[in-house]
Amino acid sequence: MADVILRNVSKRFGAVEAVRELSLTVDDGEFLVLLGPSGAGKTTTLRLITGLERPDTGSVMIDGRDVTQDPPGSRDIAFVFQQYSLYPHLTVYDNLAFPLRSPARRVPEPTIRKRVEQTAELLHIASKLNNRATRLSGGEMQRVAIGRALVRDPAIYLMDEPLSSLDAKLRAELRLELKRIQLELGATILYVTHDQVEAMTMASRIGVIKDGQLLQLGTPREIYESPSSRYVASRLGTPQINFLPARLLSEVPLPPGTETIGIRTEHLQIASRNGGRLIGRVHRVEHLGEQNHVHLDYEGQTLVTLADPDRPLRAGQEVELRLTHPLYFDGEGQRIPAMPH
Amino acid sequence: MAQIRVENLRKSFDQFTAVHGSNFTIDDGIFFAMLGPSGCGKTTTLRMIAGLELPTEGKILLDGEDVTFRRAAARDIAFVFQLFALYPHMNVAGNIGFPLKCQGMTRRETRERVLETARLLQIEHLLQSKTSRLSGGDRQRVALGRAMVRRPKAFLMDEPLGALDAEFRHLMCGELRDLHDRIGATTIYVTHDQLEAMAMADQIAVMNKGRVEQIGSPQEIYDRPASMFVADFIGSPSMNFLRFEGGLRSGDTAISLAGVRIDVPEINEDRASASLVLGVRPEHIRFADAARVRGEVFGAEYLGTTQIVTVDTAHGRVAARMPSATQVRIGETVGLEFHSERLALFDGGSGLAIRTANKESARHG
């Protein structure tokens, strides 16, 4: 395994700046997730690392070597795509062995057998090795696709939304498996997704990317608890963070320049009216099983908070609001640090 | 507005029975979700109610009137498909007014009804816009307006939000429910997404293999699932199932899980020794050093407010939801304690819930 460094990489397709001045280091043994909406430049970034695209400016280093001008084949990368593209006429075994049988590699058959069996064991598909690839469930096919990357021992694994075509249950299961495998192998993975749950649950670090630019890089906890901007704050957390215009909270002392206040649902507490001045009205209560989502109306704005399912609340009821860790943002949406206490 | 009643409704296609004798009543003004995996018969049921499919057997009553063999157009029901199908060459007003124009309503009356509908949906300012210029949300509102403008007795919706990404879908759920609160029309909503059903419905019918497994409010279904299928389908992560062998006696307040005593809600039926299942929701598990159900931490998934910790135990892999501040190390051995009053018991063979003090009000469909 090895590290990957992007230095000031830019890539333009006609009028579109797909990637802008992107600098990023994927550390050896790290699971780095790039999180962003479609069109953010995630896939282009992966393609720049593989060599399928050449950057207009900037450089790509793999394991300390500048590979910017190298062809894809010489870069020692394994790629997992969104759509599992298996060879339908081959067995699971032959699909897994395929990358090792490439004439460029010349791996002896006994070594191939060992690698394939180990990989199948790791992915819990050892009993399916003799099945045709088409005789598998969706989850098994995607495991084979991931397995085909794992049989090799490349410098880095690049994964482009590998779980997004699976149903929710399987996705949850494979999330756990993939994280376990990464830890077991000490693999370096750069993984791109638009799914915040995947990013939060698997990443050592998340890079939030939008319009080709890296907005923030940090551990899931850092990004969730201390987002650098309004956009980043809104990208993580379900239900989404609440935003209120600062002018509606004249009661609360705010750092100068604050235009918007962000309040995560768990930082908005509600209580029966008891002399406080922030009063909201319950608009609707969603019963989601383990938790209720309470939609509140405050000065014409909708706020969402969490409540225990056993707590009686009805639409129209007035409640007192209490903010515990508000986040402050300026007119540009950039975070302003809280005032020292 | 209307009550919808379904009696012994059955539908077979050659050898395959899509719906096996359903019975349910949807009261006037109720938002009713039919929830289940693909192939469970929910869409077939909906299409029979709409009149797009004739039942093999059974009756459909709309406000007490038998409409089983009436044509779709004569049922006074609006069917909303994937919400995006709009006429691209017409503006918003033209799209919403189209069903009235087809009915031959006068222009003045049509204009008034369109305006009234637009007001309800808060899209008055868009009436003259081209539909191609609209955002996804506004397109959905227009499609909904086209269904509403006829003032039907009921709305039937088949996965109307299926094509949207997760975050936007949740927003639209809130909006659909708000709209329902404003107009109060009886609505049947078909979905395979448990969160959508939980977030919007007054009543949910959970369907599996052509049968209604349970009907109840979202909270009832979550707290007192009638079967393992329902327990597994509702909730994310889903309920943990811990299998064990044993007998139960009415009045027992504990079970023996491989020799470990676990308190449960009082049991209300007798069971000879059989294969049984203890059902535990992830949020009803706590770590406790002294607990005798033990396991090794397999993984921890950070979700912001909470984390999901998976633990491998002798009874299988168990998912627990806990505050993200709780420190967890992968590979460490932990003890698991369960929130006794909230546990469920199932018959491992039939998959049906065993009656306990927590389960008295559960019904089978």
Inter-chain touch A290–B167, beta carbons under 8 Å: no
> How far is Cα A21 from Cα A9, in angstroms, rounded to an integer?
5
> How far is Cα A20 from Cα B317, in angstroms, rounded to an integer?
44
Q: Which of A180, A295, A306 sits opposite B174 (nearest CB)?
A: A295
> How far is Cα B283 from Cα A292, in angstroms, rounded to an integer?
13
Q: Is the pLDDT of residue A100 over 70?
A: yes
Interface with chain B: mutation pick from A177, A225, A264, A290, highest number of B CBs within 10 Å? A290
The distance of B84 to chain A (nearest Cα, Å) reads 20
Q: pLDDT-derived band of residue B79, with 50, 70 and 90 as boundaries?
A: confident
Q: Is the pLDDT of residue A178 over 70?
A: yes
Q: Does B116 touch chain A (CB under 8 A)?
A: no
Mean pLDDT of B251-274: 92
Q: In B, which residues are within 8 Å of A290 by CB distance?
A: 222, 235, 281-283, 321
Q: In B, which residues are within 8 Å of A182 by CB distance?
A: none
Q: Which domains does chain B possess?
A: 4-228 (3.40.50.300), 237-347 (2.40.50.140)
Q: How many CB atoms lie within 10 A of CB A35?
A: 28
Using one digit for the tens of pLDDT, what is the confidence trace for A193-228? 999 999 999 999 999 999 999 999 999 999 999 999
Q: Is the peptide bond between B237 and the residue preceding it cis, with omega within 30 degrees of 0?
A: yes
Mean pLDDT of A258-284: 92
Q: Does B304 touch chain A (CB under 8 A)?
A: yes
Residue found by looking up tokens 């087809």 in the block: B102
Using one digit for the tens of pLDDT, what is the confidence trace for B140-156? 888 889 988 988 889 99
Mean pLDDT of A142-163: 90
Q: Which of B195, B238, B299 sits opposite A176 (nearest CB)?
A: B299
Mean pLDDT of A124-134: 89
Query: Which B residues 146-175 touch A at CB under 8 Å?
Result: 165-167, 170, 174
Query: Which A residues 18-77 touch B at CB under 8 Å?
Result: none
Q: Which range among A126-135, A311-320, B328-337, B352-361 shows the weakest confidence by mean pLDDT?
A: B352-361
Inter-chain touch A284–B305, beta carbons under 8 Å: no
Residue found by looking up tokens 């210029």 in the block: B133
Q: In A, which residues are within 8 Å of B236 by CB distance?
A: 168, 172
> How far is Cα B188 from Cα A74, in angstroms, rounded to an integer?
58
Helix (H, G, I), strand (E, B) or coil at A264: coil
The distance of B71 to chain A (nearest Cα, Å) reads 37
State the count of interchain CB pairs (< 8 A) between A and B. 75
**Which conformational region is residue A161 in: left (phi greater than 0), alpha (psi within -120 to 50 degrees), or beta?**
left
Q: Is the pLDDT of residue A104 over 80?
A: no
In terms of Cβ atoms closer than 10 Å to its own Cβ (0-12, 13-18, 19+), residue A128 is buried
Contacts of residue B119, Cβ cutoff 8 Å, sequence gap at least 6? none
Q: Which range among A76-85, A86-95, B202-211, B263-272 shows the weakest confidence by mean pLDDT?
A: A76-85
Nearest-by-CA chain B residue for A294: B199
Inter-chain touch B199–A286, beta carbons under 8 Å: yes
pTM of the model: 0.83
Strand partners, A284: A295
Q: pLDDT-derived band of residue B278, with 50, 70 and 90 as boundaries?
A: very high
pLDDT: which is higher, B32 or A273 = B32
> How far is Cα B186 from Cα B183, in angstroms, rounded to an integer?
9
Inter-chain touch A284–B174, beta carbons under 8 Å: yes
Q: Which domains does chain A possess?
A: 4-235 (3.40.50.300), 251-336 (2.40.50.140)
Using one digit for the tens of pLDDT, what is the confidence trace for B85-142? 788 889 999 999 999 998 899 999 999 999 999 988 888 999 999 988 887 778 888 8
Q: Is the peptide bond between A245 and the residue preceding it cis, with omega within 30 degrees of 0?
A: no
> How far is Cα A17 from Cα A280, in angstroms, rounded to an integer?
44
Q: Does B301 touch chain A (CB under 8 A)?
A: yes
Using one digit for the tens of pLDDT, what is the confidence trace for B234-247? 998 999 999 999 88
The distance of A312 to chain B (nearest Cα, Å) reads 13
The distance of B304 to chain A (nearest Cα, Å) reads 6
> How far is Cα A183 from Cα B305, in angstroms, rounded to an integer?
24
Length of chain A: 341
* Exposure of A259 in the CB half-sphere (CA atoms within 13 A): 9
> How far is Cα B348 from Cα B263, in angstroms, rounded to an integer?
19
Inter-chain touch B304–A197, beta carbons under 8 Å: no
Q: Is the pLDDT of residue A101 over 80?
A: yes
Q: Does B331 touch chain A (CB under 8 A)?
A: no
Q: Is the pLDDT of residue B73 over 90?
A: no
Interface with chain A: mutation pick from B236, B297, B330, highest number of A CBs within 10 Å? B236
pLDDT (0 to 100) of residue B359: 52
Inter-chain touch B174–A309, beta carbons under 8 Å: no
Residue B37 in contact with residue B208, Cβ under 8 Å? Answer: yes
Inter-chain touch B199–A293, beta carbons under 8 Å: yes
Q: Does B35 touch chain A (CB under 8 A)?
A: no
Residue A52 in contact with residue A75, Cβ under 8 Å? Answer: no
Q: Which of B181, B304, B308 sits opposite A236 (nearest CB)?
A: B304
Q: Does A206 touch chain B (CB under 8 A)?
A: no
The distance of A308 to chain B (nearest Cα, Å) reads 12
> How far is Cα B95 from Cα B146, in angstroms, rounded to an integer?
7
Q: How many CB atoms lie within 10 A of CB B161?
A: 23
Interface with chain B: mutation pick from A287, A306, A313, highest number of B CBs within 10 Å? A287
Residue found by looking up tokens 């393992």 in the block: B228
Q: Indicate the average pLDDT of chain A.
A: 91
Nearest-by-CA chain A residue for B303: A200
Encoded tokens for A5: 């460094």
> How far is Cα B107 from Cα B3, in angstroms, rounded to an integer?
32
> How far is Cα A143 from Cα A128, in angstroms, rounded to an integer?
11
Q: Which of A183, A194, A287 sits opposite B198 (nearest CB)?
A: A287
Using one digit for the tens of pLDDT, what is the confidence trace for A274-333? 888 899 999 998 888 888 899 999 999 999 999 888 788 888 999 999 998 999 999 999
pLDDT (0 to 100) of residue A341: 55
Q: Could you give the C-alpha distances from B121 to A337, B116, B138, B141, B155, in angstroms and in order?
A: 40, 9, 9, 7, 15
> How far is Cα B242 from Cα B239, in angstroms, rounded to an integer?
10
Strand partners, B11: B19
**Which conformational region is residue A333 in: left (phi greater than 0), alpha (psi within -120 to 50 degrees), or beta?**
left
pLDDT: which is higher, A289 or B58 = B58
In terms of Cβ atoms closer than 10 Å to its own Cβ (0-12, 13-18, 19+), residue A288 is buried
Q: How many CB atoms lie within 10 A of CB B69?
A: 10
Q: Does A175 touch chain B (CB under 8 A)?
A: yes
The per-residue b/e assignment along B316-344, b for 16 or more CB within 10 angstroms, e otherwise, is eebbbbbebeeebeeeeebebbbeeebbb
Q: In A, which residues are within 8 Å of B181 by CB distance?
A: 284
pLDDT (0 to 100) of residue B31: 97
Nearest-by-CA chain A residue for B311: A176
Encoded tokens for B268: 């209300």
DSSP structure string for B48-104: HHHTSS--SEEEEEETTEE-TTS-GGGS-EEEE-STT---TTSBHHHHHHHHHHHHT
The distance of A60 to chain B (nearest Cα, Å) reads 31
Residue A60 in contact with residue A2, Cβ under 8 Å? Answer: no
Q: Does B198 touch chain A (CB under 8 A)?
A: yes
Question: What ranges make up the beta strands (E) of chain A?
Answer: 4-13, 16-26, 31-35, 57-62, 65-66, 77-80, 156-160, 189-193, 205-210, 213-218, 242-245, 260-263, 268-271, 279-287, 292-298, 301-307, 318-323, 327-329, 335-336
pLDDT (0 to 100) of residue B268: 93
Encoded tokens for B243: 């299998």
Q: In B, which residues are within 8 Å of A237 by CB distance?
A: 304-305
Percent of chain A with pLDDT over 70: 99
Q: pLDDT-derived band of residue B363, with 50, 70 and 90 as boundaries?
A: very low
Inter-chain touch A290–B282, beta carbons under 8 Å: yes
Q: Which helix (H) or strand (E) holds B175?
A: helix B166-183
Encoded tokens for A19: 């990637």
Give the relative orientation of helices B92-103 and B107-121 as an angle to the nearest 10 degrees: 130
Percent of chain B that is helix, strand, coil (3-state, to 5)? 30, 35, 35
> How far is Cα B20 from Cα B77, in angstroms, rounded to an integer?
24
Q: Does A112 touch chain B (CB under 8 A)?
A: no
Residue B206 in contact with residue B199, Cβ under 8 Å? Answer: no
